[in-house]
Structure 1
Amino acid sequence: MTHAVSDAIHADPVAPVAPIEPMLFRQLLGCFPTGVAVITTRDANGRPVGLTCNSFSSVSLEPPLVLFSLRKASSLVGAFSEAEGFAINILSQSQDALSGRFASSKIADKFEGVAWRAGPLGMPVIDDCLASFECSVHACHEAGDHHIFIGEVKHMGGGGADHALVFYKGAYMMLAESLRTLVIQGRLGSADLDEAYRTLYGTLLRLACERASEAELDAVEKAVDAIERHQPCDTLAQRIESASRFFCAIADAGHNEALMLMAQTMTAILRERMTHVVPVLPRPDLFPLRREVARCLRRRDAGGAVAALDELITRLRKGAPAAA
């Protein structure tokens, strides 16, 4: 037996790889800017249906293939699975309202008041988009909790010369850049931000007490654990990530798409303030308050969770406690 083989046999086993946390996975995917599209088709009754998507991608030039992915839990899985085709409508910056409309689960008829026309394949093509691709279904594959629809482009067209609507780190890039400027210039007052945090996350905590799954409550507790495990040598980026994950976990547990978008905007503000304005220092005095938020959520005690968060925000603004 050679030394190399012997060494391989007696080597220490490979350390287990930590499982991928869905919330962090989603946050890190948000570091990659993507365009925003509305994917449309017709249901079994011929009615136009559609949804907002940022998973659109090109696949092949010859033949011309594109794809998008759709959650298996989506109410439109049946419509897209049974359809013979679909259309990709690339949105411009001026069409951000359409993005919100087709992303909302509260609007029954997404096409009401929306200017569109039937393309050569009969698929709904939205007017004034940057580009549109009308496709026949080439293939559909299952992949984890999504279906991947691959379409062969049969017709396409270009629109105006506006800039594309871009999604980045949970916000539209144009909005994210504007927020960054406001934060760095100090034009967002602390009192206004505190009021916004109390109002938004207070509402999300109340909803979470009614709607959160056990896994989502576990995610809040894991976010608290991560903050408490920080060491003095940890980087600023690590501390910002942990603080952001705590608030993101609360937003996820609230199960309200509109409030989640607002929470993503507040998270963008939090990141910029912690990076450029407010020093991020260890605050062990705040550990019990975050822990209390998590405990109250577990008990479905909305009043207790909101009170703990309110005290957390108050103490954060007062700064670190004086040395004993």
Structure 2
Amino acid sequence: MTEATPHIEAIEPKLFRQLLGCFPTGVAIITTTTADGRPVGLTCNSFSSVSLEPPLVLFSLRKASSLLGSFVEADTFAINILSQSQDVLSGRFASSKVADKFDGVAWRPGPLGTPLIGDCLASFECRVHARHEAGDHEIFIGEVKHMDTGSSDHALVFYKGAYMMLAESLRKLVLEGQLGTTDIDEAYRALYGTLLRLACDRAADAEIDAIEAAVDDIEHHQGTEALPQRIEATARFFSSIALAGHNEALRLMAQTMTAVLRERMTHVIPAHPRPDVFPLRRMVVQCLRARDAEAAVGALDGLITALRKAE
């Protein structure tokens, strides 16, 4: 008798990325030079050690990256480990809108000629040891030839889509009751109001569908026993708006605000079922589909006001 093959569901990319975010990582800027000697670099949290003897490290790079060709052609690269005071640098080197990432940035060429960024916690200058194709990424393994220490600051840590320093600070303030409702509501109105305006201009229909799917899940999970699912669906409603806005900097801010939302709904505010606000969330989606930015922002403002009245 042949056993039935168990059904295995396909991996959902957004959930896969979200769960990977449960593993805190350091943040580094990977640098190299182009064939004409121009310094280039990008923010990365895929850096890892490989071997002590010989000293090997690796990082992975998306095949879609505009810098893939530069790293493939280069014989060397450097890993620059960022401190928590260098979060601005992290954002700069992660942005596709900054043409010259090194403009105004303190750096020097290392012994191999690779750009080393000033005031980092540590730097590793490597010669390429091997390169491997892996799915939608290219893995670069480097043999460390030179290394240096720098700042004694704490490391910049990325966790669940946000810098841990900021996310943990906000989480602590929420749990201690030091972050007021008025301040939070103003932040939500300003941040998500901007994101809704951007989404009305930039969002694909599928991205609006994702927002509506989150609304469906909120309305479906209304029992007291369904609170964890309702919290996650509410978080997904806001994170889907952030994705639809297509602004990476604002998306990171939104992910941090989502962490605040989860803590408040879990530990602070009474997260009772609220069928009375269903039409307001639906209105946000309808206004997005109509590409009516002001009406979408108005619906969000009404949603926040209605939720607070019952607290």
Instruction: Give me the TM-score of the superposition, normalised by structure 2.
Output: 0.91
Find the partner of 1:56 among 29, 37, 47.
Answer: 47
Per-residue displacement from partner, 1:202-255 (whole Å, max 9, x unpaired)?
111111122122332232222222222215264543332221111111111111
Measured in 1, the distance between the counterparts of 2:216 and 2:303 equals 16
Measured in 1, the distance between the counterparts of 2:163 and 2:294 equals 33
Query: Deviation of residue 33 (structure 1)?
Result: 0.9
Measured in 1, the distance between the counterparts of 2:151 and 2:80 equals 13
Partner of 2:197: 206
Measured in 1, the distance between the counterparts of 2:98 and 2:280 equals 38
Check conservation: 1:230, 1:239, Cα contact below 8 A. Answer: yes
Per-residue displacement from partner, 1:133-159 (whole Å, max 9, x unpaired)?
111223333333332222222222222
What aligned pairs does 1:98-109 form with structure 2 within 5 A after superposition? Answer: 98-109=89-100
Partner of 2:239: 248
Find the partner of 1:14 among 6, 18, 27.
Answer: 6
Query: Deviation of residue 124 (structure 1)?
Result: 0.4
What aligned pairs does 1:174-185 form with structure 2 within 5 A after superposition? Answer: 174-185=165-176
Find the partner of 1:146 among 137, 142, 147.
Answer: 137
Measured in 1, the distance between the counterparts of 2:234 and 2:68 equals 35
Measured in 1, the distance between the counterparts of 2:192 and 2:64 equals 26
SS of corresponding position for 2:80: strand
Partner of 2:255: 264
Structure 1 gap ranges (5+)? 1-5
Per-residue displacement from partner, 1:279-319 (whole Å, max 9, x unpaired)?
22222222232233223323323233222222211111122
Partner of 1:36: 27
Measured in 2, the distance between the counterparts of 1:154 and 1:213 equals 46
Check conservation: 2:27, 2:44, Cα contact below 8 A. Answer: yes
1:295 correspondence with 2:286: yes
Query: Deviation of residue 125 (structure 1)?
Result: 0.9
Structure 2 gap ranges (5+)? none
Instruction: Rate the CA distance shift 1:234–1:61 in 2: closer, same or farther, 3 A.
Output: farther
Query: Deviation of residue 166 (structure 1)?
Result: 0.9
Query: Deviation of residue 88 (structure 1)?
Result: 0.4
What aligned pairs does 1:159-170 form with structure 2 within 5 A after superposition? Answer: 159-170=150-161
Check conservation: 2:217, 2:230, Cα contact below 8 A. Answer: no
Instruction: Rate the CA distance shift 1:316–1:20 in 2: closer, same or farther, 3 A.
Output: farther
Structure 1 residues 249-258 or 22-31, which shifts more? 22-31
SS of corresponding position for 2:258: helix
SS of corresponding position for 1:129: coil
Instruction: Rate the CA distance shift 1:66–1:214 in 2: closer, same or farther, 3 A.
Output: farther
Amino acid at match of 1:280: A
Measured in 2, the distance between the counterparts of 1:300 and 1:87 equals 45
Per-residue displacement from partner, 1:157-210 (whole Å, max 9, x unpaired)?
222332211111222222222112221232222222212211211111111122
Identity of aligned residues (%): 75
Measured in 2, the distance between the counterparts of 1:163 and 1:55 equals 19
Instruction: Rate the CA distance shift 1:221–1:145 in 2: closer, same or farther, 3 A.
Output: farther
Partner of 1:191: 182
Partner of 1:3: none
Check conservation: 1:24, 1:245, Cα contact below 8 A. Answer: no
Cα RMSD for the two superposed structures: 2.1
1:84 correspondence with 2:75: yes
Measured in 2, the distance between the counterparts of 1:146 and 1:309 equals 38
Measured in 1, the distance between the counterparts of 2:76 and 2:227 equals 48
Measured in 1, the distance between the counterparts of 2:192 and 2:276 equals 21
Find the partner of 1:215 among 191, 206, 214.
Answer: 206
> Between Structure 1 and Structure 2, how many residues are aligned?
311
Instruction: Rate the CA distance shift 1:46–1:271 in 2: closer, same or farther, 3 A.
Output: same
Check conservation: 1:41, 1:83, Cα contact below 8 A. Answer: yes
